């Protein structure tokens, strides 16, 4: 373990996370007389709203995930560090981060935690083996492999029932991500892949968007939800509502209807976009505060100034914070970061009075979701609109928020190729993208079991766990894909 120098001359700000919240915070401290350390477990800043386009071959991962270090290259008061933060000590004001076998402790004067959220399977974590979520670049590349891999696997089989299963795609969760992904799988099948196979007809692919709720895009209201549903149905997507997933396995999924009856959908490719859960760092921080708690999703119920009780310079922002009327969206994270950094800059000028801070106020700039090329739905204040105008607004806004001129340029080129033509530039898939996550999980369980056996040999106490599959021959890892 190494310890950072104990007493730097300047105020030390530690930021956890390089997403919308963390990156915005670092940028807004550009002129601050402070030493900033930004710690994140990935080397990139991820533009999550376009992950579904990486998963469906429209964009490359580089276009939506530029290196954080290069984005902040010219900002001399920031040091970017790769590592997984696994401990925060509020009493001693330190953050501990791990990379491979080394641990580093970073002291702070102000702390901004923007560690985001992860996929939630509502207590059924084993669903993840067969129905990955879409939160990271790894997820998107694995899904691309599974989606395109399913068409390939269908072409290679003669049995009609199995071919049908391989050509059935189920997206669980009819929020913006589910709607966008289902629409893109349908377009991939009907436009890009049409004519590329000799045995199967990709147009026969069945794309199902399924949700336990009674409507598509519930937060956007009935009118826009229906608009999106109609457009999806025109594209051939089957929208199944009031349908709750009760089981997911290699062969398919089990669905419970509102009346309690259960049915099966045999499908090879399943995607989970049904729920989110806050990063565990939220609970860790709340537990050390003077009474701050977390909500059901694990988000920190922060004070009106986005801090935790008893720690006026520990800010929790973005998807990790729970603030009434603030959705888990990019704007919530960006505005939270701007608010927190303003307080830090005021404190550096001796102008901050934590007891009398103006509370954080969220400005709702609206929300939107694309359904297909040239069609989106949008809500800005009381205005609701759909179709081409909404799609144009979506396009301009996403380009505006993408980081880097080069990325904007290559994204425009990629969109021109796939929206005006039928091609997609990122159709590469590899076996490792599909199987690596499961293989790594199995390796972890194998290592854990080996450790227990070693401890048993040392202590003489009985061993409790054995690995469920062997990484050595890889067979069980392969069973579940694509």
Residues catalogued as catalytic: 180
Closest to 245 measured CA to CA, from 225, 227, 265: 265
**Mask: binding to ligand FAD, 181-200, rule CB under 6 A, as x and -?**
--------------------
Looking at residues 127 to 146 of the shown chain, list those that interact with ligand FAD (rule: CB under 6 A): 134-135
Q: Is 323 strand, coil or helix?
A: coil
What tokens were used for 166?
């391989």
**Mask: binding to ligand FAD, 273-312, rule CB under 6 A, as x and -?**
------x-x-------------------------------
Regarding 235 and contact with ligand FAD (CB under 6 A), the answer is no
Q: On the CB side of 470, how many CA atoms lie within 13 Å of its CA?
A: 3
**Mask: binding to ligand FAD, 143-182, rule CB under 6 A, as x and -?**
---------------------------------xx-----
Q: Which span sits near ligand FAD by CB under 6 A: 316-324, 378-386, 418-426, 465-473? A: 316-324
Please say which residue, 366 or 387, places its beta carbon nearer to ligand FAD. Answer: 366
Count other Cβ atoms within 10 Å, centred on residue 470: 13
What ranges in 366-404 are assigned the alpha helix state H? 388-401
Among 59, 80, 85, 179, the residue binding ligand FAD under the rule CB under 6 A is: 85
Q: Is 240 strand, coil or helix?
A: strand
**Residue 116 backbone zone (phi > 0: left; psi -120 to 50: alpha; other: beta):** left
Query: Is the CB of residue 341 less than 8 Å from the CB of residue 357?
Result: no
Regarding 331 and contact with ligand FAD (CB under 6 A), the answer is yes
For the CB of residue 395, give the shortest distance to ligand FAD in the complex, in Å: 12
Biggest alpha carbon distance in the chain? 74
Looking at residues 4 to 43 of the shown chain, list those that interact with ligand FAD (rule: CB under 6 A): 16-22, 39-42
Residue 269 vs residues 129, 143, 257: alpha-carbon distances, Å: 11, 9, 21
CA dihedral 213, 218, 223, 225 (to 10 degrees): -70
Report angle CA 220, 307, 92 to the nearest 5 degrees.
140
Regarding 323 and contact with ligand FAD (CB under 6 A), the answer is no
Q: Which span sits near ligand FAD by CB under 6 A: 4-12, 57-65, 313-321, 406-414? A: 313-321
Among 63, 187, 303, 319, the residue binding ligand FAD under the rule CB under 6 A is: 319
Query: Is the CB of residue 328 less than 8 Å from the CB of residue 362?
Result: no
For the CB of residue 167, give the shortest distance to ligand FAD in the complex, in Å: 24
Using CB under 6 A, list all residues that contact ligand FAD.
16-22, 39-42, 48-49, 51, 84-85, 114-116, 134-135, 176-177, 279, 281, 318-320, 328-331, 333
């Amino acid at each position: 373990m190494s310890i950072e120098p104990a007493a730097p001359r300047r105020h030390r700000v530690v930021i956890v996370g390089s997403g919308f919240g963390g990156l915005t915070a670092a940028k807004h401290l550009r002129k601050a007389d402070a030493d900033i350390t930004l710690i994140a477990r990935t080397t990139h800043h991820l533009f999550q709203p376009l992950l579904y386009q990486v998963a469906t071959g429209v964009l490359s991962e580089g276009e939506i995930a530029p290196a954080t270090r290069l984005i902040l290259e010219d900002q001399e008061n920031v040091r970017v560090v790769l590592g997984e933060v696994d401990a925060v000590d509020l009493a001693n004001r330190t953050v501990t981060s791990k990379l491979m076998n080394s641990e580093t402790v970073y002291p702070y004067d102000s702390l901004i935690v923007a560690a985001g959220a992860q996929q939630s399977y509502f207590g059924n974590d084993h669903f993840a083996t067969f129905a990955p979520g879409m939160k990271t670049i790894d997820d998107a590349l694995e899904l691309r492999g599974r989606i395109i891999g399913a068409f390939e696997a269908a072409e290679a089989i003669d049995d009609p029932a199995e071919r049908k299963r391989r050509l059935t795609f189920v997206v669980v969760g009819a929020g913006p991500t589910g709607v966008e992904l289902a629409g893109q799988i349908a377009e991939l099948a009907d436009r890009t892949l049409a004519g590329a196979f000799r045995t199967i007809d990709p147009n026969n692919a069945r794309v199902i968007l399924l949700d336990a709720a009674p409507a598509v895009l519930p937060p956007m209201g009935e009118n826009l939800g229906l608009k999106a549903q109609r457009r999806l149905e025109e594209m051939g997507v089957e929208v199944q509502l009031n349908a709750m997933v009760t089981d997911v396995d290699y062969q398919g999924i089990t669905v419970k209807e509102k009346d309690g009856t259960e049915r099966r959908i045999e499908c090879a490719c399943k995607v989970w976009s049904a729920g989110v859960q806050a990063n565990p760092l939220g609970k860790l921080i709340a537990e050390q505060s003077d009474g701050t708690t977390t909500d059901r999703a694990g988000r920190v119920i922060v004070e009106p100034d986005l801090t935790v009780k008893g720690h006026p310079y520990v800010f929790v922002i973005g998807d990790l914070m729970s603030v009434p009327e603030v959705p888990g969206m990019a704007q919530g994270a960006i505005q939270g970061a701007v608010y927190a950094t303003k307080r830090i800059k005021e404190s550096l000028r001796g102008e901050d009075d934590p007891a009398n801070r103006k509370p954080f106020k969220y400005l709702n700039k609206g929300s939107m979701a694309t359904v297909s090329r040239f069609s989106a739905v949008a809500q800005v204040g009381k205005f609701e609109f759909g179709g081409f105008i909404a799609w144009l607004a979506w396009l301009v806004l996403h380009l505006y928020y993408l980081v880097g001129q080069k990325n904007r340029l290559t994204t425009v080129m990629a969109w021109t190729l796939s929206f005006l033509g039928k091609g997609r530039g990122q159709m590469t898939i590899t076996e490792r993208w599909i199987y690596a996550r499961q293989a790594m999980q199995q390796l972890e369980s194998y290592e854990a079991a080996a450790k227990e056996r070693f401890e048993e040999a040392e202590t003489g106490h009985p061993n409790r766990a054995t690995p469920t599959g062997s990484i050595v021959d890889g067979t069980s890892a392969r069973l579940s894909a694509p």
